[in-house]
A and B are shown apart, each in its own frame.
Chain A
Amino acid sequence: MRWTQRGFRVSLPLLAVGAAALLSGCGVSKQSALAPAGPVARAQLGMFWESLAIMTGIFIIVAAVFLYSLIRFRARKGQTGLPKQVHGNTTLEIAWTIIPFILLVFLAIPTVHYAFVFGDTPPGAMQVDVVGHQYWWEFDYPSSNVTTANIVHIPVNTKVDFVLTSKDVIHSFWVPRLGGKTDLIPGRVNHLWLEANQTGTFYGQCAQLCGAGHAYMKFEVVVQSQAAYDAWIAQMQNPHVVVTTAEQKAGMALFQQDCSTCHTIGGTAFNGKIGPNLTALMERPTIAAGTLTNTPANLAKWLQNPPGVKPGALMPNLGLTQTQIQQLVSFLETLK
Chain B
Amino acid sequence: MAAIPERLAGVHGETRTYTGIWSWLSSVDHKKIGIMYILAGLFFMAFGGAEALIIRIQLWQPNNHVVSAETFNQLFTMHGVTMIFLVAMPILIGFINAIVPLQIGARDVAFPRMNALSLWLFVFGGIFLYSSFLFGSMPDAGWFNYVPLSGSVYSKGLGVDFYDIGLQISGFGTLMTAINFLVTILNMRAPGMRLLRMPLFTWSALITMLIVLFAFPPITVNLILQMFDRLFGANFFNIAGGGNALLWQNLFWIFGHPEVYIVILPAFGIISEIIPVFAKKVLFGYESMAMALSVIAFLSFMVWTHHMFADGLGPVVNSIFALTSMLIAVPTGIKIFNWLATLWGGRIHFTTAMMYALSFIPLFVIGGVSGVMLAMAPADLQYNDSYFVVAHFHYVLFGGTLMAALAGMYYWFPKLWGRSLNEKLGKWNFWLVFIGFNVTFFPMHISGLLGMPRRISTYSPGYGWTIWNQISTVGTFILLVAMLILLYNLIITFLRKPDAPNDPWDGRALEWSISSPAPEYNFAQTPLVRGRDAYWLEKQEGDGKMLPAEPAGPIHMPSPSLAPFGIALTIVLAGYGAVLHSAIIGGFFLLLTFWQIGRALIDEDHGFHVTPHMGGEAQ
Partners in one complex: yes
Please, which residues of chain B bring their CB within 8 A of the CB of A34? 449-450
Q: Is A128 an interface residue when CB atoms closer than 8 A count as contact?
A: no
**Does any Cβ of A come within 8 Å of B330's Cβ?**
yes
B458 within 8 A of A: yes
Which residues 129-152 of B have a CB within 8 angstroms of A? 141-142, 146, 148-149
- Please determine whether A108 and B245 come into contact, CB atoms closer than 8 angstroms: no
Interface centre among A75, A115, A186, A191 (most CB of B within 10 A): A115
For the residues of A in contact with B, the DSSP-based class is mixed
Closest to B243 in A: A187
Q: Counting CB contacts under 8 A, is B596 at the interface? A: no
A145 contacts B by Cβ under 8 Å: no
Supposing A62-B340, A93-B334, A209-B73 touch, asked if A104 and B326 sit within 8 A by C-beta, the answer is yes
Known: A33-B382, A83-B345, A187-B239. A100 touches B279 (CB 8 A): no
**Taking the nearest CB of chain A, how far is it from the CB of B591, in angstroms?**
38
> Chain A CB within 10 Å — which of B284, B358, B366 has the most?
B284
**Is residue B234 contacting chain A, with contact meaning CB distance below 8 A?**
no
The answer to whether A75 and B348 touch (CB under 8 A), given A107-B376, A168-B148, is yes
Question: Given that A73-B348, A120-B315, A311-B68 are contacting pairs, would A86 and B282 also be in contact in the complex, using a CB cutoff of 8 Å?
Answer: yes
Q: Shortest beta-carbon distance, B350 to chain A, in Å?
A: 7
CA distance A119 to B460 in the complex (A): 32
Q: Whole-angstrom distance from the CB of A131 to the nearest CB of chain B?
A: 14
Bound-complex Cα distance A256 to B348 (A): 79
Inter-chain contact A96/B334, CB cutoff 8 Å: yes
User: How many Å lie between the Cα of A183 and that of B313 in the bound state?
Assistant: 10
Task: Assess the B453–A205 pair: CB atoms within 8 A.
Answer: yes
- Are A83 and B281 interface neighbours, CB within 8 A? yes
With contact pairs A32-B450, A73-B346 given, residues A88 and B318 touching in the complex (Cβ less than 8 Å): no
- CB of A111 within 8 A of CB of B378, answer yes
CB pair B319 A111 closer than 8 Å: yes
Contact check, A164 vs B378: say whether CB atoms are below 8 A apart.
no
Task: Flag whether B455 is at the interface (Cβ < 8 A).
Answer: yes
Q: How far is the CA of A110 from the CA of B336 in the complex (A)?
A: 26
The answer to whether B245 touches A187 (Cβ under 8 A) is: yes
Q: A20: CB under 8 A from chain B?
A: no
Let me know if B347 is at the binding interface, CB within 8 A: yes
> Which A residues lie within 8 Å of B282 (CB)?
85-87
> Given A104-B329, A214-B457, do A84 and B464 touch, yes or no (CB 8 Å)?
no
B348:A111 contact, CB within 8 angstroms: no
A214 touches B455 (CB 8 A): yes
B6 interface residue (CB < 8 Å to A):
no
Q: Least Cβ distance of B329 to chain A in Å?
A: 6
Give the CA-CA distance A34 to B380 in the complex, in Å: 14
Q: How far is the CA of A227 from the CA of B362 in the complex (A)?
A: 54
User: A66-80 interface mask toward B, CB cutoff 8 Å, 1 = contact, 0 = none?
Assistant: 100110011100010
The answer to whether A272 has its CB under 8 Å from any CB of chain B is no
Does A151 reach chain B (CB closer than 8 Å)?
no
Q: Which 8 interchain pairs have the tightest Cβ spacing?
A: A180-B381, A28-B464, A119-B315, A31-B451, A311-B69, A190-B312, A215-B456, A55-B369
Q: Can you name 8 A-B pairs with beta carbons within 8 Å? A: A30-B464, A69-B344, A104-B327, A104-B372, A164-B312, A180-B378, A182-B311, A206-B453
A43-B378, A88-B287 given. 8 additional CB < 8 A pairs?
A30-B464, A31-B451, A33-B382, A79-B347, A88-B288, A168-B154, A207-B385, A311-B70
Which positions in B face A, CB cutoff 8 Å? 68-70, 73, 141-142, 146, 148-149, 154, 239, 243-246, 279-282, 284-288, 310-312, 314-315, 318-319, 322-323, 326-327, 329-330, 333-334, 336-338, 340-341, 343-350, 358, 361-362, 365-366, 369-370, 372-373, 375-382, 384-386, 449-460, 462-464
